[in-house]
Structure formats: C-alpha cells, structure tokens
Amino acid sequence: MTSKPVVVIGGGLAGITASVDLADRGHEVVLLESRSRLGGAAGSFERGGVRADTGQHVLLRCYTEYRGLIERMGASSLVSIQDSMDIPVIIEGRPIARLHRGQFGPAPMHLIPAVARYGALTPRERASAIRAARAIRSIDPDDCMTDERTFGEWLRSHGQNDRVIRRLWGLLCVAALNLTPDAASLALAAKVIQTGLLAEVSGGDIGLIQAPLSQVHDDAAARLLAHLGVTVRRGSRVTAVDQSDNGFVVRTRSDEVAARGAVLAIPHQYAARIVPPSAIADPDSWGGLGASPIINTHLRFDRTVTHLPFAAAPESPVQWLFDRTSALGIKTGQYLVTSTSAADSLSSATAQQICTSQYDALAVLLPGVRQAKVLDTFVTREPRATFRQAAGTARLRPQAQTALPGLVLAGAWTATGWPDTMEGAVRSGHVAAEVLCRSASGSLPTNDPTGSSRREAIA
C-alpha cells in the first residue's frame, strides 16, 4: 500500500472540517494553508495588544454542523447562544424596537409575536409581513427557477412596501446574504428564512463567539488537528495541482507533495487557477459567482456608550453594531464594531472617510457616543467576503465531485444549498471528505471506518 497522504488545500472552516473527517477515517492528512493562520475568512489579527477580528461573525442555533465542529474542538464554552431570538433594532428618533420570538411553537407560530410586536412597522405593515412569512414557507429553495428570481421582486409581488423591505426583510437579507433583497437570490433568502426562522422554534436564536475568532478557528482548530495527527503546513501557498500516475502532485512555491487524493478548499477565484483542466469542464464560469464586500469599522471609546451586546440599524449606514469589549478581553472603556455588508459603495472610500461617516452615524443612534473620547478607530475591509449571492448563481456552484476521482472541491461557495456562511463551509467539508472516500475507495482505504475511536471532543 502506498504511504502518500491525502492533501487538503486551504485551512478555512471547509478545509479544517475535511481534514478532521479524513483523519477520523484513518487517513494520513496534510493540510496546506497559504497564510500564517487557520480560519480563513473567519479570523483575527493583532493590533495594539488586542486580537481584532477581520469581520463580525454571527451564528444561528440552526448551524448544527458548525456547532458540531466547535464542540469537537472543545470550544463550545467560547460560544454563547440566546435563549430565544432577540434582535434589538435602532432607528433614529424612535424607541429601540425588538424582533423577539415567542417561546412556544409549533413553528412558525413563534414568529407571529416577533413580527406583531415589532415597533418599527405599522400594524398594517406587520400584518402584511406575517402574510409574506407564511408564503415563504411554500417556496422551494432547490428549484432552479426560484434561484433565477430576486428576493426583492418576490417581496414586492407579495405586497411588501419599501419600508417593510428595509426594516425587516432587508435587515435579515443583507446580514445573511451580504446583498440587498433587490439583488439577492430568492432561493438563498428562502433557505435562510425557512431554516433559521420557520422550521424550528429556536433555529434563529443568535450566537456570538465570545473570544477573538482566531482563538476558536485557529488555536482550538490546530489543537484538534494535532490531536488527530494531521500535519498542518502554514505559509504554504499551493500554485498547482497536477495529476500523476498514482494520484496528484500538489505544488507550492518551494515544495511539492505527492498525494493520493486532494481536497481543494480555497475560494473560487483561486481554485479556478489551480484546478487541473481535466477535472472541471469550465472553471472560468466560477468567475460569475463574483464577490461581495464587507467593511468593519472598529471604534474604541474611553467609556461605555451602549449596553446592547449587538443591534441592527436598518435605516443607518451602520447596519449592525457589536460590542466586542469583553470578548476581546478589554478591561476598560468599550470596543464597538460596526459591520457594513454589501459595501460596494464604500470600496473607493478612504479609511478616514469610513471612520468619520460611521462615527457620525453611530452618534445619531447612540447619544453617549458624543460624550465619549475615541481612543482608536480603524477599518477592516474584506472585498471578497462572500461570493455575490445574486439571483442566477445556483447553477454556477459546483458539486464536490470533479471529473477526476480523488480530487474534490470544498468551500462555502460550492453547491451546499446554503448561503456562503460558516455553516455552509463546514457542510461542504463534510461532503468533500465523504465524496473523496467514496469516489476513490480503492486507493483511499479507510483504516478506521467508524472513526469512533477518534471522534471525541478534545480538552
């Protein structure tokens, strides 16, 4: 039997998950990551003695696979999930409104009180929103024709006016799909609302990571991978994957690894450059998935300016704000981050312009901001935060299986049926490992078919 390993390319959540699953099945795994850290889009960096996140990451209770991975990492204590979905909504000149679900089902009855008590809409608008929520239940997100329509067009055809779209559906859509309803795929919007809000009473309860993201997606992930015997090579940018007689040669700038099989778990624009031509008929078509940016503005104040852990601000450039003070271990003052999704209009703005406009917008929403001293502000930009989850993109997302047995694709952009999220990434990693083992079962023997001896959580 050959002793070549399986190589996983890309150490984001998809690659981490695939590595864990392959190691569980007894394979020797080498994980190649181009950066110096694991976690990909969901990571942190050092600034002024604080580990700041590249972007705010929210999970939902319905993220079952992501939560399962966190549990395997022994990091569940770093994630807090609300007992019952409660989103504070701040609109200038109005008391704080809340989208707070009812306690009891059956689903989706629990949502009726959430919308019926939502003070940002008139009673007539709330009634019309409840009718639309009922209609969303009958949308088939897997129907390719559904994906050809935009969520905004569907909402208008179901009597939703501009204000309901902005203050309710847009608030959810921009956060979940990183795109406005007028551009977003109806299929993906329906998937989010059905899974998060309509299927289970508690599915939409909001979770936050109460630590720098890298403490979970890098430190805890690395501990789990080491425990499973996975070799992790950071700073290893893969430049080519070539078919060889008995598998693949995975090349980096300075090295090459002979592999029995490979999981390509990197963003679509990079995957298209290195996937062997015989594996995929038209990788250039992945370019149609595009990219949608997210910009975060980090503001450190000398005092507390809000007691809200997070809030939505659908009528403001702020969009969403998060209090990261205790999560990042900051003892004095307050560290707020505003998160602006679908941020194309800010792409040419300077960091100074963004900081100033976000500060001004925040000051309108939170009166305490003007009294506080700003200790630090900076901006993080993720120009390719997600693929552009627009109408008509489902047909561009590839399945894990390629035409070459032993080479599979993973990543939140592949055909998971989920939006480009942490849950989608983890699901894609599971599928990739499964497909790889199945498609090349002759050359990829499963030493421990159940993996049961290794599947315990660490720490």
Ligand X SMILES: Cc1cc2nc3c(=O)[nH]c(=O)nc-3n(C[C@H](O)[C@H](O)[C@H](O)COP(=O)(O)OP(=O)(O)OC[C@H]3O[C@@H](n4cnc5c(N)ncnc54)[C@H](O)[C@@H]3O)c2cc1C
Contact 283, 368 (CB under 8 A): no
Instruction: List strands edge to edge, sheet with 247-252.
Output: 238-244, 247-252, 256-259
The nearer residue to ligand X, 27 or 427, going by C-beta atoms, is 427
CA dihedral 51, 78, 98, 357 (to 10 degrees): 10
Handedness of CA 393, 394, 399, 404 (dihedral sign): negative
What's the min distance (Å) between Cβ of 447 and ligand X? 26
Interacting residues of 301 by C-beta distance below 8 A, sequence separation 6+:
333, 334, 335, 336, 369, 372, 373, 374, 375
Instruction: List strands edge to edge, sheet with 58-60.
Output: 58-60, 206-209, 79-81
The nearer residue to ligand X, 119 or 417, going by C-beta atoms, is 417
SS3 84: coil
Instruction: List strands edge to edge, sheet with 407-409.
Output: 231-233, 29-32, 6-9, 261-264, 407-409
Task: Give me the helices (H) in 248-310, please.
Answer: 268-274
The nearer residue to ligand X, 54 or 128, going by C-beta atoms, is 54
Interface with ligand X by CB under 6 A: which residues?
A: 9-15, 32-35, 40-42, 54-55, 57-59, 237-238, 265-267, 270, 294, 382, 385-386, 411-412, 420-425
What's the min distance (Å) between Cβ of 450 and ligand X? 26
The nearer residue to ligand X, 121 or 425, going by C-beta atoms, is 425
What's the min distance (Å) between Cβ of 187 and ligand X? 17
In 248-260, which positions are buried (b, 16+ CB within 10 angstroms) versus exposed (e)?
bebbbeeeebebb
Contact 274, 333 (CB under 8 A): no
What's the min distance (Å) between Cβ of 412 and ligand X? 4
The number of beta carbons lying within 10 Å of the beta carbon of residue 441 is 11
What's the min distance (Å) between Cβ of 119 and ligand X? 25
What's the min distance (Å) between Cβ of 421 and ligand X? 3
What's the min distance (Å) between Cβ of 424 and ligand X? 6
The nearer residue to ligand X, 128 or 236, going by C-beta atoms, is 236
Q: What is the DSSP string of 190-226?
A: HHHHIIIIISSTTTT-EEEESS-HHIIIIIIHHHHHH
CA dist 114 and 98 (Å) reads 8
CA dist 79 and 101 (Å) reads 21
Specify whether the backbone of 159 is left (phi greater than 0), alpha (psi in -120 to 50) or beta: left
What is the amino acid identity at position 214?
S
The nearer residue to ligand X, 59 or 390, going by C-beta atoms, is 59
What's the min distance (Å) between Cβ of 5 and ligand X? 15
Q: Which run of H or E residues covers position 60?
A: strand 58-60
The nearer residue to ligand X, 42 or 129, going by C-beta atoms, is 42
The nearer residue to ligand X, 129 or 172, going by C-beta atoms, is 172
What's the min distance (Å) between Cβ of 431 and ligand X? 12
The nearer residue to ligand X, 391 or 410, going by C-beta atoms, is 410
Answer yes or no: is 201 a known binding residue: no
Which pair of tokens denotes residue 412? 């939140």
List the binding residues. Answer: 238
List the binding residues for FAD. Answer: 238
